[in-house]
Chains A and B, each alone.
Chain A
Amino acid sequence: GQNIDQPTEMTATEGAIVQINCTYQTSGFNGLFWYQQHAGEAPTFLSYNVLDGLEEKGRFSSFLSRSKGYSYLLLKELQMKDSASYLCAVSDSNYQLIWGAGTKLIIKP
């Protein structure tokens, strides 16, 4: 079956760095997405990786290793507004998104 694993919850301190991991097993691979979702709101797009390596976008970076079925989202200089759930999703061979359960990130002052 298809499976996306990510930690349920993480806690970090304002100003620090946090890495949220995601491992996946899917039938085919056409890219991996990271979305941010604040409570009561719809997800918003953060990043997309289809090739191995690191994609940097401001304070957020996303890494992919297709051979390991592994990705991480790196958040630097954490701000209180970064408190949210972070969803990992993989596009499978049919271009359908397979969603992880999300990682709730709690930022403490």
Chain B
Amino acid sequence: GAVVSQHPSWVICKSGTSVKIECRSLDFQATTMFWYRQFPKQSLMLMATSNEGSKATYEQGVEKDKFLINHASLTLSTLTVTSAHPEDSSFYICSASSGGEVNEQFFGPGTRLTVL
């Protein structure tokens, strides 16, 4: 149980285009979903936290108008990178939590974005 999927697993796009990444919890309802970014040889960096039906909470330094997050249901959250540039190239990982005492985060497989 506790499977989280991400789509696409990798994407290459031209500079200036927008890219949408989907994160789905397949076998549980995720009260909270998290979006992370990880550059090569660096640790995970939390970008934003989203709760179903409410606006996402962005970390300091993350542009909310550039990284649009929608958490429309308890099993789906989307991250849209608008007007992507080469410096946005990174590994984007989502995780989902169903709450509870442990509040463990279950991670999706990640999406590797390359902006040309």
Contacts and interface: CB of A to CB of B under 8 A. Distances in A.
Contacts of B93: 42-43
B24 to A, nearest CB: 14
Interface string B33-66: 0100000001110100100000000000000000
Contact of A42 (B46, B102, B110): B110
A43 B43 contact: no
A-side interface size class: 20 to 34
A87 B43 contact: yes
A31 interface: yes
A38 to B, nearest CB: 11
A41 B110 contact: yes
Given A87-B44, A99-B46, A101-B43, A30 B107 contact: no
Instruction: Name, among B42, B43, B106, B110, the residue most crowded by chain A CB atoms within 10 Å (CB to CB).
Output: B43
B57 to A, nearest CB: 10
Interface in A73-92: 87, 91
Contact of A101 (B34, B42, B91, B109): B42
A41 B103 contact: no
Contact of B106 (A45, A48, A99): A45
A70 B110 CA distance: 30
B104 to A, nearest CB: 6
B48 to A, nearest CB: 12
A96 interface: yes
A40 B10 CA distance: 11
Interface of A: 30-31, 33, 35, 40-45, 48, 50, 87, 91, 95-97, 99-102
